[in-house]
Structure 1
Amino acid sequence: MPTMADVARSAGVSVATVSHVLNGTRPVLPHTRQAVLDAVDALGYTPNTLARSLVTSHTRSIGLAVSAISNPYFTEILQGVEAAAREAGYSLLIADPHDDPAHERQAVQLLHERRVDGVIVAPSARPSDLVAYLGRHAVPAVFLDRVLPARDHAGGGPTLGRAPFDQVCAENTGPMADLVGHLVALGHRRIGLVAGLPGLSTTQERTAGYRQALTAAGLAYDEDLVVSGHSESAGAERATAALLSLPAPPTALVTANNAMTIGALRTLRERSLAVPDGIALCCFDDFAWADLFSPRLTAIAQPSRELGARAVRVLLERLAAPDRPTRTVRLPCAFVHRTSCGCPERRDGAPGRPPAGTGGTTEPSAPLERGTAS
């Protein structure tokens, strides 16, 4: 197997020059650089990344721990992470924590033991073991999609508003309030919510948005109208059935992620409830085939790929400046107005305009970066 010394002899340069060309550690004259690259190709030289990592303490690899990789939402996030990592010259190692607190710590530990330079994690509902491990081993980390309460790095009490790690997530409260407010503007007064897994920040924030819209409309919060679907299709089937079995069932339904939308639709079909004539339906999380349903699904679209790409950029900034203050980056969502909410469809195939003041727009606002967790 050819060595770096063989490349240097073939190109007529020093081993140090070959190292600078391959690692980009120092500018090299164009003709010298080309001579080195030609020698690499001719000899079939492959850099020993393991040996390099032992010298530099860097492997140019990122660990990604996200659950339910089969979920289209996380699949798109994965695509954003992979593309941004590749563009920056980093490889990607992936682990699935299964949304299990014990398993997620083991998954991240496995990535850490593979000497990744940093990790991107979508934390579970109870991530205390994970947070303790990351803090104890000083692992550069970015929390993705779900945020943590502002606490100190040792996992103790609240600090002056600074989250323990960098975080990248979507806005949840405002967009959910827009979605529910749109249904209120259409005349609905009993709106059911199929909520996500208890304990997740996304569940808490979207439920807060639901309550915020009701308060703004002068409607009382009815806890019977909020049932957890545990962020999965089967759970949403049960939650939707429970809502439809109420003495006064909801006239509109909001699902808090795409997997639960599928479960809700399955139950509505079993109950022979047509959308939107029998019940209006809106969902948080747009997905590729939402426009193919009949009627087409009114949804909140999250910037999934950009969330993944932004998480990579935030992690690389952390690696470049380990002592910089932590921050939370929130990206805007878009209201995708279709017809499952009950709005009539125009002759051109588009839905009628949503009522003014409901936030019914497909244009997201500017991204928001904060130094504190929301």
Structure 2
Amino acid sequence: MFADRHIPGSGIPSAVTDAGDSVARLLAPVLAAGVDELAYFGGQPALSASRERLAGYRQSLAAAGLAEGADWVAERDFQRESGYRMMADWHAGNGRYPRALFTASITLLEGVLSFIRERHRMREAPQFLLTFDDHPLLDCLPLAVDAIRQDSRALAEASLSQALALLQGVALAERDIRVPASLNLRRLAV
């Protein structure tokens, strides 16, 4: 069985965060506020988590009636250095930061923040920063970062229940247990 990943058509059960829905819920208020530019920095396109997070992003744009800009989506891997590189490339190509930015992982956000700190000492940045994954250190930043908080306990429990069922000889067809995530909306708390 897969934990936090799934491969459609593999016949293997999995337990995953409901990433598409979580991303759509996180981005909807920003788009409803009139944001007309929302960049997406993601990881490896071949991973199920990457595909689902990007699908949630695109679902949000469509729901807001906003067409995706030609340079809004960049994908590499989930390494900190990739977040830095994608931010550097965006800034070099546009001469500014995007109005809003969603990173598909906190490691990508770390790279973005490193670029912002290094280049502009946090005095310039996207108006809205959003990320998948949360960490208490985000509470300490001078910039408000809204985040998706995965329910690690529920993911572990769902994974364990499937593993125990398999050990007991229960044949589990390919099915995804979708675990909802919560949102940490720091921007609204400011």
- Quick check: TM above 0.5? yes
Aligned AA (1:184): L
Q: 2:18 aligns with which of 157, 160, 171?
A: 171
Partner SS for 2:2: strand
CA distance in 2 between partners of 1:333 and 1:144 (Å): 15
Residues 348-372 of structure 1: per-residue CA shift (max 9 Å, x gap): xx34xxxxxxxxxxxxxxxxxxxxx
2:85 counterpart residue number? 238
Alignment gaps of 5+ in structure 1: 1-141, 152-163, 344-349, 352-374
Gap change, CA 1:186 and 1:274, over 3 Å in 2: farther
CA distance in 1 between partners of 2:133 and 2:65 (Å): 26
Partner SS for 1:209: helix
Partner SS for 2:136: coil
Aligned AA (1:319): L
With a CA cutoff of 8 Å and minimum separation of 6, indicate the structure with the bigger relative contact order. Answer: 2
Partner SS for 2:41: strand
Gap change, CA 1:246 and 1:277, over 3 Å in 2: closer
Gap change, CA 1:222 and 1:281, over 3 Å in 2: same
Aligned AA (1:269): R
What pairs up with 1:250-329 in 2 under 5 angstroms? 250-272=98-120, 274=122, 278-329=126-177
Q: Which structure's CA Rg is the greater one? A: 1
- The structure that is helix-richer by fraction is 2
CA distance in 2 between partners of 1:225 and 1:145 (Å): 26
CA distance in 1 between partners of 2:64 and 2:15 (Å): 31
User: For the Cα contact (< 8 Å) 2:15–2:178, is it kept in 1?
Assistant: yes
The structural deviation recorded for 1:217 is 1.1
Whether 1:208 aligns to 2:55 is yes
The structural deviation recorded for 1:195 is 0.8
2:184 counterpart residue number? 336
CA distance in 2 between partners of 1:312 and 1:299 (Å): 26
Partner SS for 1:187: coil
Residue identity over aligned pairs, in percent, reads 30
CA distance in 2 between partners of 1:208 and 1:184 (Å): 16
Partner SS for 1:318: helix
The structural deviation recorded for 1:324 is 4.2
Residues 308-338 of structure 1: per-residue CA shift (max 9 Å, x gap): 2321221001111333434321100111110
Partner SS for 1:218: coil
1:125 counterpart residue number? none
Aligned AA (2:33): L
How many positions carry a matched residue from both structures? 189
TM-score, with structure 2 as normaliser: 0.90
Q: 2:45 aligns with which of 182, 194, 198?
A: 198
CA RMSD of aligned residues (A): 2.0
What pairs up with 1:27-42 in 2 under 5 angstroms? none
User: Runs (4+) of structure 1 moved beyond 4 Å?
Assistant: 275-278
Whether 1:148 aligns to 2:19 is no
